[in-house]
Structure 1
Amino acid sequence: MQTFLTLLLIAAMIATLVALVRGIVIFLKTTEADLNGTGPSNSSLKSNKMMQSRIIFQALAIFIAVLIMWLANGG
């Protein structure tokens, strides 16, 4: 059971890192034309979506880590 949870934790950590990097890359590709438009630009919406995904994956990783520690202490 703990091996499975450890693999899930690693997957959640990798997903967090991927979402973070993708969000930063999209943010860095934002042009001045995107910033001068009215309302949110397409790139800022994508960047925001990636950061929201990062938060979800990070919360999942924390939950799995807590679950692993709880089970290691005898549940």
Structure 2
Amino acid sequence: MSSFTTFLTLIVMGLVVLVLIRGLINMLKGTDANRSNKLMQLRVILQAVAIALIMLTLWITGGGRPS
């Protein structure tokens, strides 16, 4: 289970990076401000999911504490 949550966390973190880059590119182009706003909102949501998955992984594995 912990390897699944670790893998899922890495995927979500990758998505955060992709959405961040896409949002920055859209902002630098100066196109639709509404789209940039939606991308940044999506980034915040993905970051929250990533943090929750990190916390879940730490909880499942015992946070690195010896057994």
The TM-score with structure 2 as length reference comes to 0.88
Greater C-alpha radius of gyration: 1
Alpha-carbon RMSD: 1.4
Where does the alignment leave 5 or more consecutive residues of structure 2 unmatched? none
Identity across matched positions, percent = 40
d(CA) in 2 for partners of 1:20, 1:28: 12
1:62 corresponds to: 51
Over residues 18-51 of structure 1, what are the superposed CA-to-partner deviations in whole Å (9 max), with x where a residue is unaligned? 11000000000006xxxxxxxxxxx100100100
2:9 corresponds to: 9
Q: CA deviation at 1:7?
A: 0.8
2:34 corresponds to: 45
The size of the alignment, in residue pairs, is 63
Q: CA deviation at 1:59?
A: 0.4
